[in-house]
Amino acid sequence: MSRMTSGIASLLLGAAVFFGVCQTASAEDYTGSVVARVGVTVVDPDSSADVYAGGARLAGASAEVSTEVVPSLTLAYFLTNNLAVELFCCFAKHDVDGKGTLNGVDLGDTWIFPPALTLQYHFHSGRGFKPYVGAGVQYIAFFDEGRSTLAGNPNLDIDSAFGFTLQAGVALISAMAGFSTVT
């Protein structure tokens, strides 16, 4: 995770904890509700990757994957007024550049589909918004990998994998109440 993304996540987590401590009673009860949200997400892959050619690791070579800001869609089901299970999805296209002995080489690009399933805790601020934090699992599927600018234009091949995800955010209560809530 980049320093900027870490800083933003820390700020959001701090705000969520602050408003959770300062919570007041809310008349809204979302237990059993499904909430759909459209948002903006920063996709910041861990780009500490080794580079292989012909099955052998290229000494001194690594890869860096770009960070992208993309639209996203989430569906959350409220188990209680504070606990929700959320399914997150989006698509993002990333550039992959060489580092180390491959510095400046365009290794290609790839699309990713990183769906995540998280358990969230929603705080009641009593101020028209609902801060939340969450943790869960994620499967990152890479597809449509492009060709490299290396000699012979080899294909980029990235392995899909499972990982963990953390989140923090703020939901507007008025938007939640009016945003296709189904009970």
Report the CATH architecture of 3-157+167-177.
Answer: Beta Barrel (2.40)
Q: Which has more pLDDT, 183 or 1?
A: 1
> How far is Cα 62 from Cα 82, in angstroms, rounded to an integer?
43
User: Using alpha carbons only, what angle is made at residue 8 by residues 119 and 114, rounded to the nearest 5 degrees?
Assistant: 50
Q: Are 100 and 111 in contact (CB under 8 A)?
A: no
Q: Is the pLDDT of residue 134 over 90?
A: yes
- pTM beyond 0.95: the answer is no
Read off the pLDDT of residues 9-65 as tens digits, 9 standing for 90 and up.
Answer: 444 444 443 333 333 334 567 889 898 888 888 888 776 677 877 778 888 888 888
Read off the pLDDT of residues 73-106 as tens digits, 9 standing for 90 and up.
Answer: 999 999 998 999 999 988 899 888 888 888 888 8
Most confident of 32-41, 74-83, 123-132, 151-160: 74-83
> How far is Cα 92 from Cα 126, in angstroms, rounded to an integer?
35
Q: What does the pLDDT read at residue 9?
A: 45
